[in-house]
Structure 1
Amino acid sequence: MIVNSSQSLLLKETAEKTSQAARKLGGLSTGDRNQAIEAIATALENASADIIKANEIDCEIAEKEGISRPLYNRLKLGKTKLEATIKGVRDVINLSDPVGHISIHRELDEGLILKRLSCPLGVLGIIFEARPEALIQITSLAIKSGNGVILKGGKEALNSCKTLVKIIREALSKTKVSPDTVQLLTTREEIRNLLELDEYIDLIIPRGSNEFVRFIQQNTNIPVLGHADGICHLYVDKEAELDTAIAVAVDAKTQYPAACNAIETLLIHQDIAREFLPKIAQGLTSHEVQLKGDQLTQTYLDIEAATEEDWKTEYSDLILSIKVVDSLEAAINHINTYGSKHTDAIITEDKNSAEIFMNQVDAAGVYHNCSTRFADGFRYGFGAEVGISTQKMPPRGPVGLEGLVTYKYQVIGNGHIAATYAGENAKPFTHKDV
């Protein structure tokens, strides 16, 4: 990738402005930040027609260029989706302020007080897929948590993102939050430059494929919160209630197949395969789902063979791979081998099996008798999310406000010195929680 020096300098200046704006934002009151978020929600409502028009232009261009159906579904921002997203912005206003929360308040000695307070991270660099509503969600969470944000959306959503950021910045100009808090990048070349700005950017959140997330991680010194593939599984245990299993499986695959929390593999215990497979096949194919199966599955269903590569694939489409397993342990091993540590579920009436599954499956979300589609910041009551983290270190799973703050220690004394508490006649600490 060729790096343009003038472009690099311009982006550095932009990042510096964002960093300065973020420091001021972090010092504003909860009311000031909430007022800014309400201003954004109102501005988005008033400009809904312009937003939808810009999105229609993106969709038309994308269709001419042969965009895949799953990506098109993510790109499309109709009236209903926009209204729901604006409601999500207002939901963020009602959430508790994550900034300034005291988690430790302790007397170290008389007159020497320790506090640990939550505080903003600083500036977030968010590289996200072609989902315009994600830009709105991310911006509202960033402002609520006192963070500046530099956004880079998928190229397919360029007109939508430009329009949205223009509206958001104009709305912020009438509040105490600087418009410089929110910035938009528009070219792929800027991503490389962004990754070099560790002096100004405190966290990178890439949303995309495993390959893309790894590229980001390997090309920056900035901490990266990885949201990679969503290879989600549903395991139907031998003690499953079959009607429940059918309803959940159909929802988890078809309710929104382009979502990262839709299932890509269905695992079925061999003891119920003969009875269950024809029923679930009928339920799924009635929703136009293309089925693939392992050798055992193909003895019951006339479907295409699933290959080793299928177990590793996020289809994001109406395609599902099916595998028959001989035990709960085999299901867990398959998930831990091929899963992306996103969200996996079990259908069973056996509470012991459910507990084993939920304890041993290595994923950010593990569910019992419900759809994986619940893996979502809005559904968790976070108001929105900046992404879903599949890494082990926190934050993990849907990342809302709590994942966008860190903490600092404050110690207030009255001329206290460390020497008083060292040496032969050291004074002891009191260490009393206040």
Structure 2
Amino acid sequence: MTVSTVASSSLAESAHRTRQAAQQLGYLSGDAKNAAIAAMADALEQAAAEIVEANAVDCEAAQQEGLAKPLYDRLKLSESKLQGAIAGVRDVGKLPDPVGVAQLHRELDDGLILKRITCPLGVLGVIFEARPDAAIQIASLALKSGNGVMFKGGKEARHSCQAIVAAIHRGLNSAGLPTDAIQLLTTREEILELLQLDSMVDLIIPRGSNAFVRFVQDNTRIPVLGHADGICHIFIDQSAVLDKAIPIVVDAKTQYPAACNAVETLLIHQGVAKAFLPPLAAALRKNGVTLRGDAIAQEIVEMEAATEDDWQTEYSDLVLAIRVVDSLGAAIAHINTYGSRHTDAIISESPQAVDSFLAQVDAAGVFHNCSTRFADGFRYGFGAEVGISTQQLPPRGPVGLEGLVTYKYQVVGNGHIAATYSGDDARAFSHRTL
């Protein structure tokens, strides 16, 4: 297995090559990009055994080095997980082309026409810990949106990333596209170098722990898309149905505890706490979950004491903090104080309570009567996602193709000059939508 990396030349030169390749991608037709995406998926399928084998090497080394369990869970790439990622690549090919879309078409005056047209960002710098499948998702989205990518995976995923990018390069080659469009960085030192390339790289996408994402945010002038924490909540309202609440909470905590959309804090209304907590605790413990609760929760069910730190911790593991609150308002206040603006859910049969929760909770995702684990680009029908953004400005939440394009204004006239529209005899604009 071989894969070209950027170790043989300076990072700035490599970024320049990626930018040139991205310019070529930006002019491709939708059909040409879809054909390339299909070729990428075929190449990944053909290399599936090789990729899983490379991942096994990484996983064995990670176990020997004592990699933290949440990171190990993200690192492990099973055959089914890989096939799911490849299916996501094919789904991206089915999505509408996000480039060249006229968002605005307006007549400013007779013969003077304004258009706002979507276009690629340029070059993406993607840095991630573990999670080698992120390379697959982001490569497909980048290709569809006409962007180049420079990947830097963690050292724990080195063999996995090399196998994946090698397969992607074979797909690009078969489609007649430059492999420089997707490059793999290999050394830790290149991370800081990449973060300084604000003239070459248009967006940084970090995927990893909260400390890692914060490090990236603090060390670059390039815009960063991502989230530092995934502190997700579920609030059980006093009108909730127990048989509905138990499977939702268990799923949100245990279906994939290392995911950023797994629930970390359970809030429960005091009006149902005595009836709900014992069966909830039993179901969670049956799935290996350790519980940490406030004083009221501890009076109802024996569990470890929760501290102030627990309300602001992303465990990424089978640990759940529990707090009993006296009202919906108290639950909302807790979430808006300690939450990370990722995903928060309410379990309730009260339309008034649901409306208040969905309107007042400040998060990218606000859910009703379902697991927080649905906060995912693939599950939203985006084909895949480059990450989840918790920032206030768009894009927010799971970011698919729409987060990888920007726009430009095109104005076409026929000898028009601005002076015509100023002064005592100024001509009026028509501003007519076409």
TMscore range, shorter length: over 0.9
1:408 is paired with a residue of what secondary structure? Answer: strand
Confirm whether residue 305 of structure 1 aligns to residue 277 of structure 2.
no
User: CA shift at 1:8, angstroms?
Assistant: 11
2:402 is matched with which residue? 402
2:66 is matched with which residue? 66
8 A contact 2:7–2:185 mirrored in 1: no
Q: What amino acid is the match of 2:296?
A: L
8 A contact 1:235–1:267 mirrored in 2: yes
Q: Return the alpha-carbon distance in structure 2 between the equivalents of residues 372 and 411 of structure 1.
A: 44
Confirm whether residue 379 of structure 1 aligns to residue 379 of structure 2.
yes
Q: Return the alpha-carbon distance in structure 2 between the equivalents of residues 232 and 341 of structure 1.
A: 8
Distance 1:371 1:98, change over 3 A: same
2:3 is matched with which residue? none
8 A contact 2:7–2:186 mirrored in 1: no
1:115 is matched with which residue? 115
Q: What amino acid is the match of 1:195?
A: L
2:235 is matched with which residue? 235
Q: Return the alpha-carbon distance in structure 1 between the equivalents of residues 214 and 82 of structure 2.
A: 31
2:215 is matched with which residue? 215
User: CA shift at 1:178, angstroms?
Assistant: 1.4
1:309 is paired with a residue of what secondary structure? Answer: helix
Aligned length: 429
Q: Over residues 235-254 of structure 1, what are the superposed CA-to-partner deviations in whole Å (9 max), with x where a residue is unaligned?
A: 00011011111110011001
User: CA shift at 1:208, angstroms?
Assistant: 2.7
User: CA shift at 1:128, angstroms?
Assistant: 1.6
Q: Over residues 44-72 of structure 1, what are the superposed CA-to-partner deviations in whole Å (9 max), with x where a residue is unaligned?
A: 11111111110000000000001222221
1:118 is paired with a residue of what secondary structure? Answer: strand
Confirm whether residue 21 of structure 1 aligns to residue 28 of structure 2.
no
Identity of aligned residues (%): 65
Q: What amino acid is the match of 2:168?
A: I
2:292 is matched with which residue? 292
8 A contact 2:390–2:396 mirrored in 1: yes
Q: Return the alpha-carbon distance in structure 2 between the equivalents of residues 325 and 221 of structure 1.
A: 41
Confirm whether residue 128 of structure 1 aligns to residue 167 of structure 2.
no
Q: Over residues 358-397 of structure 1, what are the superposed CA-to-partner deviations in whole Å (9 max), with x where a residue is unaligned?
A: 1111110000111000000000000000000011111000
Distance 1:420 1:115, change over 3 A: same
Confirm whether residue 187 of structure 1 aligns to residue 187 of structure 2.
yes
Q: Over residues 154-180 of structure 1, what are the superposed CA-to-partner deviations in whole Å (9 max), with x where a residue is unaligned?
A: 221110001111111122122242111
Distance 1:312 1:348, change over 3 A: same
Q: Return the alpha-carbon distance in structure 2 between the equivalents of residues 212 and 42 of structure 1.
A: 33
What are the equivalent positions in structure 2 for 1:25-424 lying under 5 Å apart?
A: 25-424=25-424
Q: Return the alpha-carbon distance in structure 2 between the equivalents of residues 8 and 239 of structure 1.
A: 63
Q: Return the alpha-carbon distance in structure 1 between the equivalents of residues 227 and 178 of structure 2.
A: 29
Q: Return the alpha-carbon distance in structure 2 between the equivalents of residues 283 and 215 of structure 1.
A: 37
Q: What amino acid is the match of 1:155?
A: K
Q: What amino acid is the match of 1:393?
A: L
1:302 is paired with a residue of what secondary structure? Answer: coil
8 A contact 1:228–1:389 mirrored in 2: no
8 A contact 1:205–1:227 mirrored in 2: no
User: Over aligned residues, Cα RMSD in angstroms?
Assistant: 1.3
1:177 is paired with a residue of what secondary structure? Answer: coil
Structure 1: 5+ residue stretches without partners:
1-5
Q: What amino acid is the match of 1:314?
A: E
2:256 is paired with a residue of what secondary structure? Answer: coil
User: CA shift at 1:116, angstroms?
Assistant: 0.4
Q: Over residues 246-288 of structure 1, what are the superposed CA-to-partner deviations in whole Å (9 max), with x where a residue is unaligned?
A: 1100110011111100001100000111111101001101101
Q: What amino acid is the match of 1:372?
A: T
Distance 1:78 1:351, change over 3 A: same
Q: Return the alpha-carbon distance in structure 1 between the equivalents of residues 214 and 58 of structure 2.
A: 28
Q: Answer with 264-273 or 168-177: which moved more.
A: 168-177
Q: Over residues 171-192 of structure 1, what are the superposed CA-to-partner deviations in whole Å (9 max), with x where a residue is unaligned?
A: 2122242111101112221110
Structure 2: 5+ residue stretches without partners:
1-5
User: CA shift at 1:222, angstroms?
Assistant: 1.0
Q: Return the alpha-carbon distance in structure 2 between the equivalents of residues 122 and 382 of structure 1.
A: 20
1:299 is paired with a residue of what secondary structure? Answer: helix
Q: What amino acid is the match of 1:45?
A: E
1:3 is matched with which residue? none
TM-score by length of 2: 0.97
Distance 1:8 1:311, change over 3 A: farther
User: CA shift at 1:7, angstroms?
Assistant: 7.1
Q: Return the alpha-carbon distance in structure 2 between the equivalents of residues 432 and 88 of structure 1.
A: 41
8 A contact 1:32–1:176 mirrored in 2: no
TM-score by length of 1: 0.97
User: CA shift at 1:9, angstroms?
Assistant: 6.6
User: CA shift at 1:20, angstroms?
Assistant: 0.8
2:248 is paired with a residue of what secondary structure? Answer: helix
8 A contact 2:130–2:208 mirrored in 1: no
Q: Return the alpha-carbon distance in structure 1 between the equivalents of residues 318 and 210 of structure 2.
A: 21
1:173 is paired with a residue of what secondary structure? Answer: helix
